[in-house]
Amino acid sequence: MLQKVNRLLTILMLSLIGVFLGYSIYTCADYRTRPDLYALYSAPWYTQLLVYGACVLVLLVILLAAKLVIRHLLK
């Protein structure tokens, strides 16, 4: 049972990283095609990436802590 949870946490971590990378690539490509749209914002265009990156980092730390607890329980 714990091995399935460990596998699920790994899948969640990799999915989270993949979604963030996809969003980052899309945002960079959108900025290159429409820089005037991002000039209307008061913050730089990459501020959204920094906020989402911080959220992803917090979630990854939580998932990694859960994986470490499960790994400890498996021993």
Please say whether the beta carbons of 52 and 23 come within 8 A.
yes
pTM: 0.86
Mean pLDDT of 34-49: 92
Query: Cα–Cα distance between 60 and 30 in angstroms, integer?
Result: 26
Query: Cα–Cα distance between 59 and 5 in angstroms, integer?
Result: 16
Query: Cα–Cα distance between 60 and 3 in angstroms, integer?
Result: 19
Q: Give residue 67's domain range.
A: 2-74
Position 2 confidence tier, pLDDT thresholds 50, 70, 90: confident
Judge residue 58's burial from the number of C-beta atoms within 10 Å of its C-beta, 0-12 exposed, 13-18 middle, 19 or more buried.
exposed
Query: Cα–Cα distance between 70 and 68 in angstroms, integer?
Result: 5
Total domains present in the chain: 1
